[in-house]
Structure 1
Amino acid sequence: MSKAAEIDIVSVSKVYGATTAVHSISLKIPAGSYCCFLGPSGCGKTSTLRMIAGHESISSGDIRLGNAVVTDLPPAKRGTAMMFQSYALFPHLDLVENVAFSLKMKGVEKEARRVKALEMLKLMQMDAYATRRPAQLSGGQQQRVALARALITDPEALLLDEPLSALDPFLKIRMRAELKKLQKTLGITFVHVTHSQEEAMALADIIVIMNDGRIEQAATPRKVFEEPATAFVARFMGDHNVLSGRVVASKDGVTTLEVPEGQTFSVRGNGKTVGEAVDIGVRTDRVRLNVASDKTLGFNGVVSNIEYRGASVKITVAGAGSDDFTVIANDNDYFAKPVSVGDAVSLSWALEDAVLLGRA
């Protein structure tokens, strides 16, 4: 395999008529890393992937792959390969011919491309099916063939557009493990678009969270989980609650805010002025749930929903200006002192379990 390449996205925008899909984003994806673009539908993640691939023109800015500026190069000349969401296999060709197709287009002699195609099918554990056609394969098998076809060109970067979205939940988890193993084996840069937080957390070395055509945060999964950069990231990842208010005090490294309903909350962090609008994130798994009392570090609220999840229980509480403040409780803790919808409860957490969020 060819060596991995760093991908450098420099002030890249994509404009469709009056609509800006991607707003001047800049990002360095380290060579040999697994990068996941994550965000809701329409946030610009697929447009960005297609611009890296050359399937979408860049309105302004540049994309560099390794030492080469590839902004104006056609897809075949970039050193990237793309695996499409639909797999886009040719129904009338067997697997060897499907995988070898790009080499055929490059004029590689038949026997040489056949040998290389079989080598790629073997890498994907699909060599036993070489003479079959795509319709005779399961979804997971078709995906492996699409991967083999993308990798046969020895790309420096493999681009994957929601590659697991068509698979059933069990196969998704298995293919996740295989993609990660494949990326480590090949050592090339993988750029993977997904709308699944779980998928991005499981696969990525670096997660790029997009919203409305902009990058909200680009960091390791652990950093995104423990220190979400903005209220959007905290809400989208689902592991932090967000409380919004105005600063009433800031001293000794602690900022205190007041929410419109009158409660005050503290968080570690400086640099905020009194009266400034701020958001804080509170870890859902660190919130403690007790019978309502006047002596609470957090706030009193009313239970609006309970979901049993096996090892944990998700309790949703309305209060402090939030309709869906979430508590993730250990199943043993919850069933030792269960609550019901409509119960008044007291929520509390430690100062260390809140994070001061930035504003994009």
Structure 2
Amino acid sequence: MTSGADIELVQLTKRYGPALAVDGVTLKIPGGTYCCLLGPSGCGKTTTLRMIAGHESVSEGDVRLGPTVVTDLAPAKRGTAMMFQSYALFPHLDTVDNVAFSLKMKGVDKATRRAKAMEMLKLVHMDHLAERRPSQLSGGQQQRVALARALITDPQALLLDEPLSALDPFLKIRVRQELKRLQLQLGISFIHVTHSQEEAMALSDLVVVMNGGRIEQAATPREVFNRPATAFVARFMGDHNVIAGRVTRKDGGRIMFEVPGGAAFVVPESLPAEVGQPIEIAVRTDRVHIADTGGIATGCGLTGLVQNIEYHGQKVQVALSAPGVDEFSVQVPETAFFAKPLSVGDAVPLAWTADDVHMLHASPSA
């Protein structure tokens, strides 16, 4: 396999009449990177992938693969390969001929293309089923055949459109491990569209969170989870509480702000903010502690009313309400929760430290 080239999107835009599907996306994906385009339905991630592949025309901007602008090139001439969500295997061909099909269309002789196809099937551990037809394969096996077929052209980047969406939960975990193994072995970039936060966190070197046709944040999984750039990212990644208010005072490197219900909070001054300005912060649900009565640190806590309790095995998720604060949750370790269990309707004092507070930027999609 050839080593992967950098992929660069420069102000990439897609319009469908008056509707703006992708809005000036600029992104550099280094060669050899596993990149996930992550976001809700309609955020522009699949349209972006299809423009990289050449299956969707570009309204404005450019796609570069290495030093080459490939914006107007046909899909087969770009150096990329795409694995479609439907797999799109030919039902009348056996596994080896499905994988070899693109080489047949290029005029490669039968012996050479079948040998190359068997090499690809070995790579995805499917060579023992080379003579079976798609109807004789499970969904996971069909996916491996589709993957081998995409890789047979020696692409510099492999593009995957929600490749795990049709698989059951246990198979998803196995197949994503296989995808990461292949990506590391081949040394090329994989660009993988998903709406699953868990999938993106498990696979990615680079997570690109999209919303409303724009990029909200592009960073490592750890950076995205620990330091979400915007309230959208914090909420979409999950396990974060977002508190919105207005700055009331700045004092000694700290910002004080109030929420509509009257509660006051404090955050270290990590972003420019002026008195009267709207502000949003994030606090991870596992960093919030159920405090003893009166143990709430000034500006770093609240009293919530328990609305719902869910047992998740290693943790218990407690949802609470508080004046001016929407959808506040706490993750309590299982042992700690059952040592001092809570009930719906309980008033609970909650606390966190100033170091656990992360100040959020305004969303580019707002």
Q: Report the TM-score when normalising by structure 1.
A: 0.98
Please name the residue that 1:163 is paired with: 163
CA distance in 2, matches of 1:96, 1:250: 68
- Tell me how far 1:248 sits from its aligned partner: 1.1
- Tell me how far 1:312 sits from its aligned partner: 0.5
8 Å contact from structure 1 (residues 8, 27) kept in 2: yes
Please name the residue that 2:277 is paired with: 276
Aligned match for 1:333, one of 333, 336, 343: 336
Please name the residue that 1:110 is paired with: 110
Cα distance per residue 1:271-292 (max 9 Å; x no partner): 2100000100011101011466
Please name the residue that 1:203 is paired with: 203
CA distance in 2, matches of 1:94, 1:190: 26
Determine if the alignment matches structure 1 residue 244 to structure 2 residue 244.
yes
CA distance in 2, matches of 1:53, 1:311: 42
Give the residue type in structure 2 aligned to 1:285.
Answer: D
Q: After the TM superposition, which residues 261-300 of structure 1 pair with which residues of structure 2 at under 5 Å, given as runs?
A: 261-268=261-268, 269-290=270-291, 293=294, 295=296, 297-300=300-303
8 Å contact from structure 2 (residues 244, 325) kept in 1: no
CA distance in 1, matches of 2:254, 2:266: 7
CA distance in 2, matches of 1:270, 1:25: 24
8 Å contact from structure 2 (residues 91, 133) kept in 1: yes
Determine if the alignment matches structure 1 residue 25 to structure 2 residue 28.
no
CA distance in 1, matches of 2:81, 2:19: 28
CA distance in 1, matches of 2:223, 2:253: 21
Give the residue type in structure 1 aligned to 2:331.
Answer: I
Cα distance per residue 1:46-70 (max 9 Å; x no partner): 0000000000000000000011000
Long gaps (5+) in structure 1: none
CA distance in 2, matches of 1:302, 1:220: 35
- Tell me how far 1:295 sits from its aligned partner: 4.6
8 Å contact from structure 1 (residues 306, 316) kept in 2: yes
Q: Report the TM-score when normalising by structure 2.
A: 0.96
Please name the residue that 1:316 is paired with: 319
CA distance in 2, matches of 1:5, 1:119: 23
Please name the residue that 2:45 is paired with: 45
- Alignment length, in residue pairs? 360
Cα distance per residue 1:125-168 (max 9 Å; x no partner): 10110010001001110110000000000000000000000000
Identity of aligned residues (%): 64
Determine if the alignment matches structure 1 residue 355 to structure 2 residue 358.
yes
8 Å contact from structure 2 (residues 296, 350) kept in 1: no
Q: After the TM superposition, which residues 138-149 of structure 1 pair with which residues of structure 2 at under 5 Å, given as runs?
A: 138-149=138-149
CA distance in 2, matches of 1:3, 1:252: 51
Query: The residue matched to 2:267 in structure 1 has which SS?
Result: strand
Query: The residue matched to 2:91 in structure 1 has which SS?
Result: coil
Please name the residue that 1:187 is paired with: 187
CA RMSD between the two structures: 1.1
Query: The residue matched to 2:337 in structure 1 has which SS?
Result: helix
CA distance in 1, matches of 2:202, 2:274: 38
Aligned match for 1:304, one of 293, 298, 307: 307
CA distance in 2, matches of 1:321, 1:22: 34
CA distance in 2, matches of 1:199, 1:37: 11
Please name the residue that 1:67 is paired with: 67
8 Å contact from structure 1 (residues 267, 354) kept in 2: yes
Give the residue type in structure 2 aligned to 1:318.
Answer: S
CA distance in 2, matches of 1:253, 1:210: 32
Cα distance per residue 1:76-101 (max 9 Å; x no partner): 00000000011111111100110011
- Tell me how far 1:323 sits from its aligned partner: 3.7
CA distance in 2, matches of 1:271, 1:20: 31
Structure 1 stretches of 4+ with a deviation exceeding 6 A read none
Long gaps (5+) in structure 2: none
Query: The residue matched to 1:97 in structure 2 has which SS?
Result: helix
8 Å contact from structure 2 (residues 89, 134) kept in 1: yes
- Tell me how far 1:21 sits from its aligned partner: 0.3
- Of 9-18 and 318-327, more deviation after overlay is shown by 318-327
